[in-house]
Amino acid sequence: MGILIMKRMLFLLALLAPIGAQAGAASDIAWTPEQLKFVKNGNINKGKELAQTCGSCHGDTGQGMKEEQNEDVLIPAIPALAGQVANYTYKQLRDYAKDQRSHASMTGIAKGLSEQDAADLAVWFSSLPLPKSSGSNSNLAKAEKMVAEGDGKRILPPCFVCHGANGQGEKMDIPALAGQQADYFAKALLAYKSGERHNDIYSRMRLIAQQLSEAEIKELAQYYQAFK
């Protein structure tokens, strides 16, 4: 299994590197040893204190909120942060602060956080267990195949190669997907697909999302929300 994963990783890198080299970075974050150490050494207790103001939107345990219709107002889904890879959360907060990712609420909030605050929050949320799965993925065969095998005809790598066999994300800045709110997940991938969201380094997710249909994106979102 280890050899198979390595081959698929090399395949993925070969796919993305030539295009990525031309696309350039869409974020100022550079994962130097010093930057990685900075995030890793975030103050978890300070992060817990700062996170008290996040609960009203992201949930008491960082589980996020599903999309809801409140009379004539559609309240959008809010992402789960619990168990998220610390580097990923840190990067998103800094991208919001530097206007490399935009959101009506999060941009202003992130601008009010120091780099240290962002690291503290990131390590706190990463210390929490991943959100509990919800729903069922028993009838999502296409998504299951995409996660496990990818699609060779479209040169799409399996999702697990980057996001982990258990949807837990990976050390650098690849996010955990297991238990993520499906409505948010789908919206994020659709934003990558359209180019509305463009803070993925070397266009990694944009290149992939552009090849997925909206139906495939929605099924993947449901699959990972129910991932066990």
pLDDT at 77: 87
pLDDT of residue 12: 52
Domains of the chain: 33-127 (1.10.760.10), 132-225 (1.10.760.10)
Q: With a cut of 50, say whether residue 114 has pLDDT above it.
A: yes
> Residues 110-127: what's their mean pLDDT?
98
Q: 41, 119 in Cβ contact below 8 A?
A: yes
Averaged pLDDT, 100-129: 96
List, for residues 189-210, the tens digit of each pLDDT value.
999 999 999 999 889 899 999 9
3-state secondary structure of 70: strand
What radius of gyration do the chain's Cα atoms show? 17
What percent of the chain shows pLDDT beyond 70? 88
pLDDT digits (tens, 9 = 90+) for 64-91: 988 776 777 767 889 999 999 999 999 9
Chain-centroid distance of CA 91 in Å reads 10
Q: What predicted TM-score, i.e. pTM, was given to this entire model? A: 0.87
